[in-house]
Amino acid sequence: MKHRVFSEDLVARVVDELQIANLERATIGEVLLVASRLEELTGIPFIRMDQGSPGLPANMIGVEAEKAALDRGVGSQYPAAAGVAELKEAASRFVKAFVDIDIAPAGCIPTTGSVAASYGSFIACTQRIPGKNKVLFIDPGFPIQKSQLRIIGAEWEWFDIYDYRGEALRGKLDSYLKKGDIAAIVYSNPNNPAWICLEDSELKIIGELATKYDAVVLEDMAYFCMDFRQDLGTPFEPPYPPTVAKYTDNYILMLSSSKIFSYAGQRMAVACISDKLFTQYYPALAERYGDSGVFGQTFIASILYMITSGCTASTQYGYAAMLNAAVEGRIDFVADTREYARRARKMKQIFTENGFHIVYDHDVTQPVGDGFFFTLGYGKMSSGELLKELLYYGVSSIALGTTGSEQQGVRACTSRMRDELYPILEERMKGFLEDHPLD
């Protein structure tokens, strides 16, 4: 393996030093630590494709609005648990403008990132109806959400959607839901890690079955309007991004500021609960919490408040300003984030010219688009084997096996790629191909 950048012995020493039990099944955080430590020890730059952290500057409208809020003195008072009125109203407007869905401001709840939104949602959904206590993951997906279920002691089911696109999704979903114990269904769209996009026909299937079996759909819109194959993102004008909210009243949309406005450091999102679900009464919630038993109120006051006791007040004003600016056409967040598609195209070309293939390469009706993530396989290498082997060549990623995928490969993130790194990536992947000739 003459083209390796880091020796097997050095990588093994770093893995041992960091007390990582199994490199081939390493978490995102563990891979990040290995790559950072190898860079620190050698001074050799890594191609960082591990953590999905924004690679663009934070939106200045949000920054200035947050500063102004602090100057007004909002830092001295606790914000309302349900969120500041300005953000709730802005979120309601934004969802109408860009998704064409009506959700009352009352149901737009600020959360400390979508991680807190999913955590609170899992608790509320798995406790609302006795016997409905499992979550169904349409994978591949975000590993942290399964870790959240471990904390609350809830069970889950999952399946890899790879072989169940289009109408085939109906029978697969029904096989889980007809058992009667699925409380919630969760997925991201566009998908982390595969960047596949569930199409309107598939979301219709999910919505119809969610209504039939009374399951709540948690739709993670972290990469909102980032399917760059369509001309999305013009307020109050189609096309709108497809959403399950067109097909069921049992939904919570999770809309984060992290990627669309590059505001990840401020940990701000909104959980947008359908009007019907928000006002629904559940005796089991009333008995458990000694409150009204109304889903929205329990979610806010008896669950979310116990986790984070509200969200940073100034950041809520910053997020509200960005949402309002987008609705008014003063921010074109789709144009801003299109940079990720440009990076993905260049990175994919380098990899595929050197023996790699795209694992999740198609949606139902068209090839998968370019964006924040993509997936890579190499010959017959397993996910863990490829992750480990790429580390020797100074490229960090995460194994698809950790995301609920049954396919072999790794997830690549485009966010930390820089122009000066493309020649380095190309040189290293040419060496990888020479060292690993394909049949």
- Domain covering 8-56+336-435 assigned CATH 3.90.1150.100 in the classification: yes
pLDDT at 122: 98
pLDDT at 28: 87
CA distance 29 to 267: 18
Which of 82, 111, 137 is closest to 253 using CA atoms?
Answer: 111
* Whether the Cβ atoms of residue 276 and residue 110 lie closer than 8 Å to each other: no
* Domain(s) of CATH 3.90.1150.100: residues in the chain: 8-56+336-435
Cross-strand bridge partners of residue 134 = 155, 182
pLDDT at 279: 98
Which of 344, 339, 119, 320 is closest to 218 using CA atoms?
Answer: 119
pLDDT at 1: 79
- If you write DSSP's letter for every residue of 357-416 in order, what string do you get? EESS-B-SSSB---SSEEEEEETT--HHHHHHHHHHTTEE-EEGGGGT--SS-EEEE-TT
**Tokens at 141, concatenated:** 């997906």
Burial zone of 130 (CB within 10 Å; 0-12 exposed, 13-18 middle, 19+ buried): exposed
* Domain(s) of CATH 3.40.640.10: residues in the chain: 60-327
Per-residue DSSP letter, 294: B
* Whether the Cβ atoms of residue 182 and residue 176 lie closer than 8 Å to each other: yes
**Structural Rg of the chain based on CA atoms:** 22
pLDDT in tens, the chain (439 residues): 799 999 999 999 999 999 999 988 888 889 999 999 999 999 999 999 998 889 899 999 999 999 999 999 999 999 999 999 999 999 999 999 999 999 999 999 999 999 999 999 999 999 999 999 999 999 999 999 999 999 999 999 999 999 999 999 999 999 999 999 999 999 999 999 999 999 999 999 999 999 999 999 999 999 999 999 999 999 999 999 999 999 999 999 999 999 999 999 999 999 999 999 999 999 999 999 999 999 999 999 999 999 999 999 999 999 999 999 999 999 999 999 999 999 999 999 999 999 999 999 999 999 999 999 999 999 999 999 999 999 999 999 999 999 999 999 999 999 999 999 999 999 999 999 999 999 8
pLDDT at 439: 82
Instruction: Note the pTM of the prediction, 2 decimals.
Output: 0.96
Nearby residues of 419 by Cβ (< 8 Å), 6 or more positions away: none
CATH number of 60-327: 3.40.640.10
pLDDT at 25: 87
**Tokens at 18, concatenated:** 């960091």
